[in-house]
Amino acid sequence: MSSSVDKVSQKVADIKLGFSKSTKNNKSKGKGKSNKNQVVEDDDEDDFEKALELAMQLDAQKLAQKKADDVPVVEEEEKKVEEKIELQYDPISTFYPDGNYPQGEVVDYKDDNLYRTTDEEKRALDREKNNKWNEFRKGAEIHRRVRKLAKDEIKPGMSMIEIAELIENAVRGYSGEDGLKGGMGFPCGLSLNHCAAHYSPNANDKLVLNYEDVMKVDFGVHVNGHIIDSAFTLTFDDKYDDLLKAVKDATNTGIHEAGIDVRLTDIGEAIQEVMESYEVTLDGETYQVKPIKNLCGHNIGQYRIHGGKSVPIVKNFDNTKMEEGETFAIETFGSTGRGHVIGQGECSHYAKNPDAPANAISSIRVNRAKQLLKTIDENFGTLPFCRRYIDRLGEEKYLLALNQLVKSGVVSDYPPLVDVKGSYTAQYEHTILLRPNVKEVVSRGEDY
């Protein structure tokens, strides 16, 4: 653009110079014959008109160039607006106006429970609880859509806060709720590498996702306290593929073995056998994939992420059985390290303790702690939350009060869980419904 403007400018200058010389020469010669003089004047006028026309073209091109220079700014502003628009999500109910949400993967029971599939009494009992199952399915459909968004949008170089807010805002948007009626059922965990669970960025966290990282994306969605707890592992380097394959296979084994009247230890034994059959080679070193023995799945109660039963991922001789009507999170964790985690680092995950001693609340004396507990009760109840969720509510300078609630036993803290530094861990998790007549892997999707 600039070179063409310069050429036009030079041409205008040349014509103006020629016009000036022509006029000067004409004046020095005198009037001469009238017809000849008229021709000279006409030529001068033509040159002047050409100069004027080119000058106008020059002005037009300069104006166009100025507008072009302004375009990036305009486009950048439009891009920002588009990004803001993309962050708006229609409630999932608008996609299902009849209020019926898709079932997950339905699996018939086996062995002694095979009769349940066609038993009329069990089928009738299942229909009576359809509203409950439907709320789980609504949460599962939200989870599927959000994790697809996450897989499409998450890239190396993003901060942990950007990633967490991408996921959490999508959950809130699709839920159309943010509180006790619906929304986040479990804080967005983004544990990296040797950290296996319970890491979510706190405010001012500067951690950034790198290409070489192994990130566990673990978040929950709830509808009226019915929680979908599901997780996957995200990597960009295919050298980790065998680690992810091992853990995914182990989780699916646990899902296959789970069912009414099944002993928890038997599920753990099957998971352990599958996971330990895998090896992964990283940078020339070969590692057996180890189940993280002190992490496990769990049953889920209404507004309670851990309902009291634990599903081991190794044989542990717990003969407790799964029962009809229960909901379980079947999750497994694999590691290239010791296969054992400890709590370490700044805590982000908390939950009000539903089993707190009766005198725990009455023992709280500090008004700020009482005020914070009121905020927790009104917004989370016994659902897990993280510190950023408290920040969103406008609470400030609450850490001392929060620690007092933890010390009193009213609130439990769940710090990050880490294996040995330098190791890599992976996780996969699904929520299953032990319906009276069938088992439903309600959070199952095309991705995992």
Name the residues annotated as catalytic.
218, 229, 298, 306, 331, 429
In the DSSP assignment, the letter for residue 358 is T
- Is 135 exposed, middle or buried, given 0-12, 13-18 or 19+ CB atoms closer than 10 A? buried
Q: Residue holding tokens 């998971």? A: 271
- Give SS3 for 361: coil
Residue 21, helix vs strand vs coil = helix
Q: What is the C-alpha to C-alpha distance for residues 38 and 300, in angstroms, rounded to an integer?
A: 102
As given in the structure block, the two tokens for residue 273 are: 């056998």
Please report where in the chains the tokens 């590692």 appear, as a residue.
287
Question: d(Cα 193, Cα 16) in Å, to the nearest integer?
Answer: 73
What letter represents residue 387's amino acid? R
**Which one-letter DSSP state was computed for residue 408?**
H
Q: Residue 337: which of 211, 196, 199 has the closest Cα?
A: 196
Q: What are the Cα distances from residue 271, in Å, to 45, 315, 334, 406? A: 96, 9, 11, 34
360 - beta bridge partners? none
Distance between CA atoms of 309 and 299, rounded to whole angstroms? 6
**Spatial distance between the Cα atoms of 27 and 32, rounded to a whole number of angstroms:** 10
DSSP labels for 70-133? HHHHHHHHHHHHHHHHHT----GGGG-TTS-----EEEE--GGGGGGGT-HHHHHHHHHTHHHH
- In the chain, the amino acid numbered 287 is Y
Q: Give the DSSP H/E element, type plus range, for residue 392.
A: helix 387-392
Contact criterion met (CB below 8 Å) for 285 and 341? no
CB 332 within 8 A of CB 256: no
Query: Can you read off the two tokens belonging to residue 211?
Result: 């290409």
8-state DSSP, 239: G
Main-chain phi, psi angles of 432, to 5 degrees: -120, 145
Q: How far apart are CA 26 and CA 21, in angstroms?
A: 8
Q: Which long-range contacts (CB under 8 A, 24 or more apart) does 13-16 make?
A: 15/47, 15/50, 15/51, 15/54, 16/51
